[in-house]
Structure 1
Amino acid sequence: MKIAYDGRRFYGFQRQPNLRTVEAEIIRVLTKLGIIENPKDANFKGASRTDRGVSAFGNVVAFNTFKPELTSPRILNHHLRDVWVLGRAQVPEDFHPRFWSKGKVYRYYLLNEGFDIEKMKSCAEIFVGVHDFSNFAKLEEDKNPIRKIDRIEVLQRGKVITVEVEGESFLWEMVRRIITALKLCASGALSIEEVKRMLEEEVDKKLPPAPPENLVLWEVKYDEIFFEKDPYAVEKAKREFFERFAQHLITASIFEDWFTSL
């Protein structure tokens, strides 16, 4: 199933004891409706374990069921809270939503508080290609820091800036730390040369990650997996999701201005 969710309402994607998570909310409803009996037997898996606060409009989960007729987005969305099912697909038995993925697209939303957009675009170009992203991630022992970014686009519509980042795979906090670099470049606090050096040399102190609440996992890409989308469910999710997101951006901007003035 292709899913959207408001990450600000959850303690991340992955199940955690006594905490509300995206995975737990989906499993709650699937179990309630008898679609699955338990997640282990159903082989429940997710494409991306997004962090606390990070939202999605195109994450993917997969599971086995003998009752596919009950997986209609309209049925599930009636019971889900802060999660929307956008579409579904029948997949091969060995399908894994993470390992079969051909790439991911993230979007980060910013209000333009006087940023130099051209500088932000120039800085974004530095990250495209294959690089060691050790200085732009929270590293895990078993993860190779070499990653490839296929593209970064900086788009402005009114006061809202959208930074879209596409790549095959990402390290923990990688997108959010790149966003911090772009913001600092666009505000004049960092030069493009300094950002280049961060990609090429070890640094004593890494840039902090940008807030997770503005980040959306926009799409997980696959070859030859086609989701049957429900137009009504998609439009309903778009309306409810982006109404919340727009309100968050306005509120975040007000508080940012307030703290800056202190």
Structure 2
Amino acid sequence: MATQLNGGDNSDLIATLQARVKELEAENARLLSQLANCQIQESPGKLERSGSFHVEKKFHGTDAKEKKSRKGNRKSGEKIENVPGYNSRFMNHHSKRYVALKVMYFGKRYYGFASEAQMEPTVESEIFKALEKTRLLVGDRKESQYSRCGRTDKGVSSVGQVIALFLRSNLKISGSNDVGSGEIALESQYEREIDYVRVLNRVLPNDIRIMGWCPVPVNFHARFSCLSRQYKYFFWKENLNILAMESAGKKLIGEHDFRNFCKMDAANVHNYRRNITSLEMSPTDVRYGDNELWVIKIRGSAFLWHQVRCMVAVLFMIGKGLESPNVIDMLLDTTSIPRKPQYTMASEVPLVLQSCEFEDIKFICSSDSGEALHVHLVNECQSYQLEAAIFHEALINCVPLSEDQPTRERKKKPSHVPIMLRPTEPSYEERRSKFDSKHEDHIHTAHLNIVGLPT
């Protein structure tokens, strides 16, 4: 075996690994068979309280009385399964339904939306704390079939993030759900259902709010079912050349390879073509002195990691007159420019995930919850305006410099280096080659461990 390895015979290595995989699969199948045949010793009452009652039913069947009851309610159960987001297969002690939640959050104090980076707090971790506190989550996160539309970065905000998961429901499988039309009327089920918006918003932090909910089919996925996403990026106009930025922005519309406008993840992303359907710039009604707040609205089917912030950074360089709008054409030509020039992304704070669009999804909110949400957001706006007023007072009360006080010479800003003359990052092919090399080394080490040879 050592001779084969030293000779670089990969075919034997692969064959050995495949054989080991088959052994593990057979062992896994044997353990699953044992689990399915094991006798659950707990009483039905205890199992029901622990949320495991459906496991006993699945493994051991049902008695004659329960079969008769189910037969009598079969029509009712079938009608409930036709209701969006309602799936009786997942019923245990609590009824569940699959719902989408529309989420707003102010991202300044969070380490992004997703909680996988092991940095706290994240928006996602706060949402799951609220779900557990309100006992809306039945089972663990994996059992909830959880999905999210986007993974916004640290500091990025949203008013239209969407997540989907199974939550506890007030609707039961019973004859009371039977209506004359053969299906539950949506208005009726909304009235009888848990007010998810009210319940969650009572325990969430002030900078996170549920904006609405909607029942969805069990095959719905918040990321892959999304048709389009829109981001907004706010900025102060100052001396920016808006016409030049608009001219350059039009070049980004359409389907292009955006590898020079993102942070590359060669290990997981292999296709860097994305479709930008619209890019518009417009003023808002917010002003501060002679300055005016503007917004860039960018819509696309999907976006790469840091894509929006990279595009905005290049647009700002064009607006400042540091780059020509033609630099967009050059960066989009990945055949001529396969290695991304190094440049700093635009700040994350002004970026907002504005909306995520889906087919046949209409979010709802009860009148009471909607009013409470409106009051809360008004109070938050007023609170931040008070803070701005305090900083404005400090600004107008700054001690002026006396005429005889020497002024320090301002530090000169570093001169701008044209993008095309800057150092470049590794290309996708170079990153991928390095990743594949590490992967092969890992497999080789794993094989040596399996056969008991020293590494």
Fold in common (TM above 0.5): yes
Q: Which of 177, 183, 192 is the aligned partner of 2:325?
A: 192
C-alpha contact 2:248 2:326 (8 A) present in aligned 1: no
* Larger strand proportion of the pair: 1
How big is the shift at 1:245?
7.7
> In structure 1, what is the Cα distance between the partners aligned to 2:380 and 2:257?
34
Moved more, 195-204 or 178-187: 195-204
Q: Structure 1 residue 76 and structure 2 residue 200: aligned?
A: yes
Give the secondary structure class of the aligned counterpart of 1:41.
Answer: coil
2:87 is matched with which residue?
A: none
Larger radius of gyration: 2
C-alpha contact 1:86 1:233 (8 A) present in aligned 2: no
- Answer 1 or 2: higher relative contact order, Cα 8 Å, separation at least 6: 1
Q: Which of 249, 252, 270 is the aligned partner of 1:127?
A: 252
Give the secondary structure class of the aligned counterpart of 1:27.
Answer: helix
Q: Structure 1 residue 10 and structure 2 residue 110: aligned?
A: yes
2:161 is matched with which residue?
A: 59
* Larger helix proportion of the pair: 2
Unaligned runs of 5+ in 2: 1-100, 171-192, 396-409, 412-455
Residue type matched to 2:343 in 1? L
> In structure 2, what is the Cα distance between the partners aligned to 1:175 and 1:243?
29
Structure 1 segments (4+ residues) deviating >2 Å: 66-72, 229-248
Give the secondary structure class of the aligned counterpart of 2:161.
Answer: strand
2:429 is matched with which residue?
A: none
Distance 1:111 1:243, change over 3 A: farther
Q: Structure 1 residue 110 and structure 2 residue 235: aligned?
A: yes
After TM superposition, the structure 1 = structure 2 runs for residues 1-262 of structure 1, keeping only pairs within 5 Å, are 1-16=101-116, 17=118, 19-37=120-138, 38-67=140-169, 69-81=193-205, 82-141=207-266, 142-143=268-269, 144-157=271-284, 158=287, 159-200=292-333, 201-202=336-337, 203=339, 205-230=341-366, 231-232=370-371, 235-236=374-375, 238-239=377-378, 262=411
Percent of pairs identical after alignment?
28
How big is the shift at 1:208?
2.2
C-alpha contact 2:163 2:222 (8 A) present in aligned 1: yes
Unaligned runs of 5+ in 1: 255-260
Residue type matched to 2:255 in 1? V
Distance 1:236 1:176, change over 3 A: farther
How big is the shift at 1:110?
0.5
> In structure 2, what is the Cα distance between the partners aligned to 1:175 and 1:242?
26
> In structure 2, what is the Cα distance between the partners aligned to 1:56 and 1:237?
16
Residue type matched to 1:22 in 2? V
Moved more, 17-26 or 234-243: 234-243
In the TM superposition, what whole-angstrom CA distance separates every residue of 1:35-70 from its partner, at most 9, and x where no partner exists?
004212212221111111111000001110223644
> In structure 2, what is the Cα distance between the partners aligned to 1:172 and 1:105?
15
How big is the shift at 1:216?
0.4
C-alpha contact 1:130 1:149 (8 A) present in aligned 2: yes
RMSD: 2.3
Give the secondary structure class of the aligned counterpart of 2:221.
Answer: coil
